[in-house]
Amino acid sequence: MKTRTIVGVAVVAVALAVAGYALLARLYGELPRRGEAHAVREIHELSVDEMQREATRVAALEALMRMDPDKAMPILEKIVTGEKEVSVDMRRHSIFILCRMDDERSEDLLIDLMQKEDDPELDQAAMFAIGRHGGEKAFGILANIALDPNADPELRQQALFGISQTRRDQDIIEVTVKILKSDESPEMLEASLFALSRTEGDVPDQVFMDLINNPSADEELRAQAMFFAAQRGQLDLAFVRQVYAKTESRDMKRQICHVITRMDNEEAALDALIEIIRMEEDPEIRQEAVFWVSRFDSDRAAEFLLEVINKE
């Protein structure tokens, strides 16, 4: 029995070193089925201790990076390249620490990691970190991936998300507009709108308004454009109500119900939602509008909901 316990604990130690903590859940379920239920408590204690030790190491590494980047850099390099064996979570943490080191060494290391890494989660973390780093070389690599129609679709989306973190507004606008004009992938178009929404200027405002006003455009993209335009304060209630009156799309109508709640004039916004509930024939849209009415903290909203209840 003692031997089995040792074996169980050893399995967890290897799992923590190689695959990280995601494997623990499987072990907790598997060991009892193999007659090793007695090992679960010891495994739990070991895993908790190890996670606490790892959290302490991450905190120490972050502190060292702030105090003395030159001393932290060799350690980070060994961790992110896999030369030093740590869990996947520790590597991911180290990648994010690395992105805050504003020098060419860290940018080169992140780029090298992204090009060599086979683990999708670490690859995604590297792309995000490269975007946060914001260097010109890093931006160029991410832009080339995002614009390459032959690249893996998920990789392109990750690259575009990385670009959105760079705060290089003019460059982001240039890349996203190219994708919006030439790409047919709904996922890439949606990712481009998101990246564009994080920039300032007249170009993104115009792109969102053009989409909203284009009835032949994809309805989900129009709905997203409506949301982003509302976030940017581009829309007034009269325009939103006009768009609602002209569309038959559920996606657009749902989004408009949400957007109405973001209008500055709460009383007018509540009036618009009440009108939708009274006039709309689609029960799903009416239910959506009822939900958003419930978000208003006012007696009039409560009275109207009572009216709906009594009417039904």
pLDDT of the residue at 103: 65
Provide the number of structural domains found in the chain: 2
pLDDT of the residue at 7: 37
Residue 11 CB partners (closer than 8 Å, separation 6+):
27
> Is residue 302 one of the residues assigned to a domain?
yes
For residues 220 and 311, membership in a common domain is answered with: yes
> Is residue 91 one of the residues assigned to a domain?
no
Q: How confident is the model at residue 47 (pLDDT cuts 50, 70, 90)?
A: low
For residues 303 and 214, membership in a common domain is answered with: yes
For range 242-271, the mean pLDDT: 92
pLDDT of the residue at 34: 47
> Is residue 31 one of the residues assigned to a domain?
no
User: Would you tell me how many other CB atoms lie within 10 Å of the CB of residue 123?
Assistant: 18
> Is residue 144 one of the residues assigned to a domain?
yes
Domain boundary among 146, 169, 200: 200
> Is residue 89 one of the residues assigned to a domain?
no
For range 239-262, the mean pLDDT: 92
User: Would you tell me how many other CB atoms lie within 10 Å of the CB of residue 261?
Assistant: 18
For residues 213 and 305, membership in a common domain is answered with: yes
5-9, 50-54, 56-60, 203-207, range with the lowest pLDDT: 5-9
What CA–CA distance (Å, rounded) separates 129 from 99? 5
Domain boundary among 200, 223, 257: 200
What CA–CA distance (Å, rounded) separates 209 from 234? 9
Q: How confident is the model at residue 12 (pLDDT cuts 50, 70, 90)?
A: very low
Q: Which H/E stretch holds residue 208?
A: helix 202-212
Q: What is the per-residue pLDDT across 100-154, written as a single tens digit (0 to 9) for each?
A: 766 677 777 777 777 766 666 677 777 777 777 667 887 888 899 899 998 888 8
pLDDT of the residue at 134: 65
Please give the single-letter amino acid code of residue 242: Q
For residues 142 and 217, membership in a common domain is answered with: no
What CA–CA distance (Å, rounded) separates 7 from 15? 12
Q: Label each residue of 279-292 as H, E or C.
A: HCCCHHHHHHHHHH
* DSSP helix, strand, coil percent of the chain (3-state; round to 5): 80, 0, 20
For residues 185 and 216, membership in a common domain is answered with: no
For residues 255 and 287, membership in a common domain is answered with: yes
Mean pLDDT of the chain: 79
Domain boundary among 200, 226, 247: 200
- Residue 3 above 50 pLDDT? no
pLDDT of the residue at 71: 84
> Is residue 255 one of the residues assigned to a domain?
yes
For residues 221 and 267, membership in a common domain is answered with: yes
> Is residue 196 one of the residues assigned to a domain?
yes
pTM of the model as a whole: 0.66
Report percent pLDDT > 90 for the chain: 38
For residues 246 and 159, membership in a common domain is answered with: no
For residues 221 and 279, membership in a common domain is answered with: yes
Q: Label each residue of 227-270 as H, E or C.
A: HHHHHCCCCCHHHHHHHHHHCCCHHHHHHHHHHHCCCCCHHHHH
pLDDT of the residue at 50: 63
Side-chain-side CA neighbours of residue 233 (13 Å): 4
> Is residue 108 one of the residues assigned to a domain?
no
pLDDT of the residue at 20: 43
For residues 238 and 174, membership in a common domain is answered with: no
Q: How confident is the model at residue 204 (pLDDT cuts 50, 70, 90)?
A: very high
Q: How confident is the model at residue 273 (pLDDT cuts 50, 70, 90)?
A: very high
For residues 311 and 215, membership in a common domain is answered with: yes
- Residue 297 above 80 pLDDT? yes
For residues 230 and 284, membership in a common domain is answered with: yes
Q: Residue 256: which domain range?
A: 207-312
